[in-house]
Each structure stands twice: as structure tokens, then as C-alpha cells.
Chain A
């Protein structure tokens, strides 16, 4: 290391550490040999997109450093909470039936406002087909979709053990590789540029700051959904009622630094994947268990006791992702799912015990709602249910209401069999879409129309190139895997 660089290190130490004397005195610790090495590819992040990029780059012989911000037990970002991936396929032993490009494409177009950049979205769908083989080749095991995955058995492929097993598999594969290192608790704080080329990343680790030289960089550090102040810019104080379903580490620091460095924006400020979760969920990291699948089976009212959306509009996997946004638009970002004993056992049991009561007014009072208005809503709904159709949870059964606004188009049955059940819900944010704009090779675009020569992006941090406002179950991992491979390949090629 030359003197100038050493001098810079000291400055960084002093600037960064809360204990300047300690930082200057101790310098760098012996165990941070990774910080002195020169890397072909530095991967910022530690979830699916990051690990796919890292393994892909290493597959071609590149020396790869993975900087995971989370501690070991939280490694893997939101991938920990995933379970399946949506890909184009011709039928296989893990799926029932085939799912071709056109169908996935039309499914993607049917959620929210459709894809934000059609070319990049089409590229994603096209390249999704080869993802499962890549995953298998990197140690991922699959399982047939078993109970409770109605509607997804054809379109989504399930990996054995869920997302934490997936990410463990990748981390264990990485640990066995040559020329690959993973550092936990490593916070990437900044980038060092020479024109549009990144020469080094600045890393805070164990109270010290390091400059790590690299030939190329992959940013796969997720969205900014855990940064409540950032969300507040777009959503105001409603944010106080949001629940963040995933990792508390996704504060968007890397995204902010990329914007500072001139990266172009992709995706809408308010774009996110959000679902209905139990209001009792933890503020962060509650994951899958806190969601509620009760909505199509009953009614949803806001805290004024009024319905606000068609609960039976479409099959649940195509609609579950709109309910986070719908609830976020209600007073106090609050809504209540109400059902009766008839539908008990038709959906996954909620993690938290629902409120139950012998009558609707009693249920409403227990939930903190106005009994009169809720009773009125339920009675009006019951009276408008068109009798005679056969209730069938497995398909759009056409059991609907007549003359009710908003209507309930499917699975409409009177709510009339006690005990009655109810749960208070909040918007549960899975991840934000707004990120950096990328080229088809995953390189990050700049606001001046150029792009960075050696910064690539994959996963949630660039999901806004593809997702507009809606979400399609299992597509987050598709984006992460397709773009992780692109980014890893591009970064390794550039490093050569």
C-alpha cells in the first residue's frame, strides 16, 4: 500500500469511527485480509441476486468478494422469506402442466399497471426459463408443491426448505469455492470513482473503515423499504402504520450513494410489493407467517366499518399483492378481515389467534370498531348475496353479490354462522421497486445518458425496471436470479 492510500485510510478511520482515538491507534485488524486484496468483483449485498451474481462471476474464474451487511444469522436479505420462483417452463416433475412465455408475459401485464420497461421485462421472462437448471447446478433441491399452494402448482417452482435453505445452499457453495470470500456485518458506505468507473468500495466493518479495490462492482443490496424516513418522503406519516415484512437491513444506503454518483432512477417512488398482514406483526422481519389469506373468504372493512374493495375479484395469488396498497389508502392504514365459521379450515390458519365472537356487533366491538356500522355493512352484504351458486374456493366460482358497491364477484356467501372471526390488518411492505435504471447487460445507467463502466445491479435494487405497481407471486426471485446472472457475468467479463 502506498503512503497516499494509507493516509486516506487514516482519514476514513477518523471520519467514520465514533471512537477516533481507537480507530487511529488500532489501524486495520489482522483478520481483514480481504480488505487488502484486489478483487475482480465486489458484490454488495447478500441475498439471492447477490449470491447468484457472485457464484456466476466465480464460475468464470473471477475473484469475488461478497459484502453482506447483515450478521450471519440474518444473511440473505428478503430471500430468507421466499419460497418459490416463477419461471417459463414446458412442464417438469415439479410442476403440474406447462407455463409458456406468452402466459407468464400476460400474467405480468395483468398485475398493477403492467411492466415498467417492456423490453427489460420481456428479457427477464425469456431468460427465466434457464434459471431452474442453473439453480440445480448450484446445489438447490426442489420439492413438489404440496398442500396449500393452490393455483401455484403450475406456475411456480418450489425449492426445498424455503428461502433460507436456498440462501444457505448458495452460501455453502460459495464457502467451498476458491477465490471467493464472504464478509458479514460489512456495510458498504460509499464508492470511489474515477469518472464513471468505480475503483473501490468503502466498507465499514467492526468499527473500522476500509477501502477495497476492485475491477467491477455488483450492487444487489435490495430496496429501501426498511428506511422509514425514506418511505415517509412519499407516504407521509402513514409510514408509521406500515409493517416491513423483510430484513431490517434494507435501508437503501447503497441506492442513495448510487443516486449521489449520478445513477439514473427506475421505477415509481411509491412502487412496492405490499400485502395484508396481521396488525400484531413485528415491525420488521415477520415474513410469510404474518400474512392473511382470509380476505377472499369473507369481508374486509376499514376502521369506519365500511367495505372498500371487491374481496373476490380474482384468484388470490393474482390479488393478494394489491391488498397492502389498498389498506395503505384507508384511514389510519387499517382494515379488518371478517369471516364466519362456514369457511374455517379453507385457508391457512393465521399465526395470531383471530378475535372471535358470537355475534357481529360483539366482534366489531372487540375489534374496536363501531358495532352499528359493521352490522349494517354485513347485513347489507348478506342481503345482496345472490343465492344458488355453488361456493368453490378452488376456482372463480361466480358466487357474487347483486347491487352492492363495491361488489364481491366471487366466493360471496352470507356471513351468518357464528362464531364470527376477525383480524386487524396493516399494510405489510415486502420490498420497494424504485431503484437504479439498468441496461440489458445489467450495467447501471446514469442520469446523463451514459452508464457506469463497471457497476452492475441485480435484484430488488433494480426491480423498478421491470415492476410498475403490481406484483406476481414468485417473480422477485425471478428478477434476482436472471439479473444476478447477468450482473455476475458482466462484472466478471469486465474484470478480465
Chain B
């Protein structure tokens, strides 16, 4: 069906033009059908809108958690001539939106894709190694004789802090700007200072509410048999990641406020949280990577799948290399493993705004926006059969 039977609004960002037109065409049909309104938050949000601008489509796309229940429910799915595939078109818009609001818009060519990741790791490792060499005369291997290694064996406190601060602040700054721009795009006027909406969106995020799928369950990875697989694995990744942050933070507290320097005992907050978090992340990421291939059906956007692989491999690498620093910390391999792990962290900080990691931010803001809408707008009562 041609897209030109639908209004061509002028508010679309030029780069998103065709995608948004196609999304607009498809969502317009959804809005005249509405059979999916009980499935998730996307369809009630769609019904609150009669005409869709680019911000609306971006909002709906980031509200979609890709459970694919609507595709299973859709009598207009291909090969029907209406060719509705909402999970896919919203994935396509979503992946575009990841790039649309960051500045600088892209990583340098050199750092893009798998080859870029490898290049990044090499550069990052070199930076860490040079820093280590310049500050401690890094000799590669320490004779440990059973004593656990400490990061400061290789890179002293201030150089280490500098490397981490520079990269992480870059990441935070870019993501902050992107989040602001994204919020402006999806929301226009409204303020974020809405405690009730923030609270409810936080609960929805923390419980991974929409990964439960649309009523009947989540049709990811299987297009025909709903399963909790993705929600379980994603929970492991999210909470594993959180525990790893706890590990780092608790180490900082121990060291900077309690004066207890690493390495820490096995029975200590940093080691236990890092161990549990690292294992959870490894299981979660590896599991998600394993089901990814079987999820690559008609509903999947290849571009999003590529992003998914990128983030999952990166997180898996961080988790495994982090665990390795613990497992080999009493051996001579510690120094090399630590440098690789640190290099991975630094590179990931730089790459984060350009990875699927930003879905955390965008989804959260979309959930907040959705909560604001739900509380502020009485749904229009329409005559329908």
C-alpha cells in the first residue's frame, strides 16, 4: 500500500523521513483498529493521539519493549497487503532515535562496528599500558606468591581516577544532553519534575514491567510460544550490572572514607557484589546472545539486532574480564587481565552514548512521559463498534 494516501506532515526530521512515514502509515491503521489496546502501553498511548508527529512516533517507539505480542495478534501482518509489522518498524525508529539525539552524532569512523571495537580496545589498552608504564614502570608481571593483586600495583590512584573520570564524564555529559533533547522531542512543554510519574516509571523500569509481554506473554524469542526467557535473562543483566556498580561504589567508600585499600577479602562488599553481579551478567548476556539468533524473525530489525549484539558482547566481556581479575588476582596473570578489563571499561565509557545502552535512558523517559499522559489526560470516549 502506498504511503502517500496518508498525510505527509512536515515536522519530521529529514533523516527519519521514510521511516517515520512508514511508521505513521502503520500506526494509523492500528489507531483505526485498536484490537491491541489491552496488550501493552504503546497502544493506549497511540489512542491518545489522533495525528502523529515525529515526537509521538519516537515516544511510541521507545515505549515499545519488543514483546511482539501485537504481531502475533495482527490480522494485517504480512503477507496481508496492509503489511503491518509494528515491532519491527518501532525497532527501526527506536534504533534511529538512539543516534538522533547524541552529540557528537557518531563515534569517529575508526571506532565504528566490530573492527572499531577492536581498534578501540587496542587504543584503550595502549593508553592504560602507557599510563601504567609511565607511573609505575609497569613490568608486566608481579611475583605475588599467593598475595592478591591490587589495581594500584599497575596504575596508581590519581592516574587511574583521571582515566576513569575523563571517560565516564564524557559519557555522562553526552547522554545527559541526548536525554534532554530526547525529552524535548517527545514531550514538548511538560516538565520532568513530576514525582508521582517518576516514581511509577521507576517501578516499571525496576520490575521490567513491559518485558512481561502483552497480556498473553512475551513472543521473544519464539514467535509462536510466549515465554519468560527474555525477562529472566534481562533481569540478570540489569541487576548484575547494578551489583557491579555496587561493587565499584563500595570499594570507593571503603578506600576513600574508611581507609581500607584493595585488595579486599573474599567476604567483603566489593568482592561479593562483584562476584554475584558478574556471574549474573555473564549468564544474562550469554543467554540473551544465545536466544538472539532464534529471535531474528520477521519482527526483528537487522540494525537493532546489530546494536543488541554489540551491547551484549561488550557487557559480557566486561563481566567476564571483571570476574577474571578476581579469579586470577593471586597469580601473575592479574596485571594483564586487569589492564584488559580497565581498558574495556574505558572504551565502553566512550562508546556508551553510541551503544544500545542508551535504551535505559530513553525507555525510562518514555515511561515517565507515558505516566504523565495517563494521569493528565482523560481518554476521549469515541463511538465505535
Inter-chain contact count A-B, CB under 8 Å?
143
Which chain A residues border B6 with CB–CB below 8 Å?
352-353
Q: Which of B37, B70, B224, B380 contacts A345 (CB 8 A)?
A: B380
A289/B385 in contact, CB under 8 A: no
The stretch among A144-152, A182-190, A201-209 that forms the contact with chain B is A144-152
A349/B383 in contact, CB under 8 A: no
The docked-state distance in angstroms from the alpha carbon of A297 to that of B51 is 19
Given A148-B382, A150-B383, A163-B75, A352:B5 Cβ within 8 A: yes
Among A163, A317, A353, find the residue whose CB has the most chain B CB atoms closer than 10 A. Answer: A353
A143 at the interface (CB under 8 A from B): yes
A160/B383 in contact, CB under 8 A: no
Which chain B residues border A353 with CB–CB below 8 Å?
5-7
A232 at the interface (CB under 8 A from B): no
Given A147-B47, A158-B38, A162-B36, A293:B382 Cβ within 8 A: yes
The docked-state distance in angstroms from the alpha carbon of A150 to that of B77 is 27
Closest to B217 in A: A141
A394 at the interface (CB under 8 A from B): yes
B299 at the interface (CB under 8 A from A): no
A interface residues, tally (CB under 8 Å): 52
B75/A164 in contact, CB under 8 A: yes
A165/B72 in contact, CB under 8 A: yes
A83 at the interface (CB under 8 A from B): yes
B44 at the interface (CB under 8 A from A): yes
Interface of B is mostly: loop
B235 smallest CB distance to A (angstroms)? 23
A80 at the interface (CB under 8 A from B): yes
B170 at the interface (CB under 8 A from A): no
Which chain A residues border B385 with CB–CB below 8 Å?
152, 291, 293, 316-317, 320, 473
B327 at the interface (CB under 8 A from A): no
A81 at the interface (CB under 8 A from B): yes
A24 at the interface (CB under 8 A from B): no
B33/A288 in contact, CB under 8 A: yes
**Known interface pairs A148-B380, A165-B35; 8 further A-B residue pairs with C-beta atoms within 8 A, sorted by A's residue number:** A161-B70, A163-B75, A164-B75, A287-B33, A344-B50, A347-B384, A348-B34, A393-B383
Which chain B residues border A165 with CB–CB below 8 Å?
35, 69, 72-73, 216
Q: What 1/0 mask marks residues of chain A from 333 to 372 whose CB sits below 8 Å from any chain B CB?
A: 0000000000011111111110000000000000000000
A130 at the interface (CB under 8 A from B): no
B interface residues, tally (CB under 8 Å): 42
Given A349-B28, A351-B29, A352-B5, A163:B384 Cβ within 8 A: no
B48 smallest CB distance to A (angstroms)? 8
Given A296-B383, A353-B6, A287:B75 Cβ within 8 A: yes
B109 at the interface (CB under 8 A from A): no
Give the contacts of A129-184 with B (CB-CB under 8 A): 141, 143-144, 146-152, 158, 160-165, 168-169, 172
The stretch among B79-87, B128-136, B194-202, B204-212 that forms the contact with chain A is B79-87
Interface residues of A (CB under 8 A from B): 73, 80-81, 83, 141, 143-144, 146-152, 158, 160-165, 168-169, 172, 280, 282, 285, 287-291, 293, 296-297, 315-317, 320, 344-353, 393-394, 473
A293/B383 in contact, CB under 8 A: yes
Which chain B residues border A143 with CB–CB below 8 Å?
37-38, 215
Closest to B216 in A: A141
Q: Which of A289, A291, A316, A352 contacts B76 (CB 8 A)?
A: A289
Given A146-B44, A148-B384, A346-B380, A161:B36 Cβ within 8 A: yes
B74 at the interface (CB under 8 A from A): yes
A sample of 11 cross-chain residue pairs with beta-carbon separation below 8 angstroms, ordered by A number, consists of A73-B77, A161-B69, A161-B216, A290-B32, A291-B385, A348-B31, A348-B32, A349-B31, A349-B51, A351-B28, A393-B383
A147/B37 in contact, CB under 8 A: yes
B214 at the interface (CB under 8 A from A): yes
A147/B379 in contact, CB under 8 A: yes
B380/A141 in contact, CB under 8 A: no
Give the contacts of B43-84 with A (CB-CB under 8 A): 44, 47, 50-51, 69-70, 72-77, 79-82
B382/A347 in contact, CB under 8 A: yes
The docked-state distance in angstroms from the alpha carbon of A121 to that of B137 is 93
The docked-state distance in angstroms from the alpha carbon of A285 to that of B72 is 17
Among B35, B36, B74, B77, find the residue whose CB has the most chain A CB atoms closer than 10 A. Answer: B35
B215/A162 in contact, CB under 8 A: no
Which chain A residues border B36 with CB–CB below 8 Å?
161-162
B381 at the interface (CB under 8 A from A): yes
Please provide the 7 A-B residue pairs with the shortest distance between their CB atoms, ordered closest to farther. A162-B35, A143-B38, A161-B73, A148-B382, A351-B32, A80-B75, A165-B73
Q: Which of B31, B39, B382 contacts A160 (CB 8 A)?
A: B39
B380/A161 in contact, CB under 8 A: no
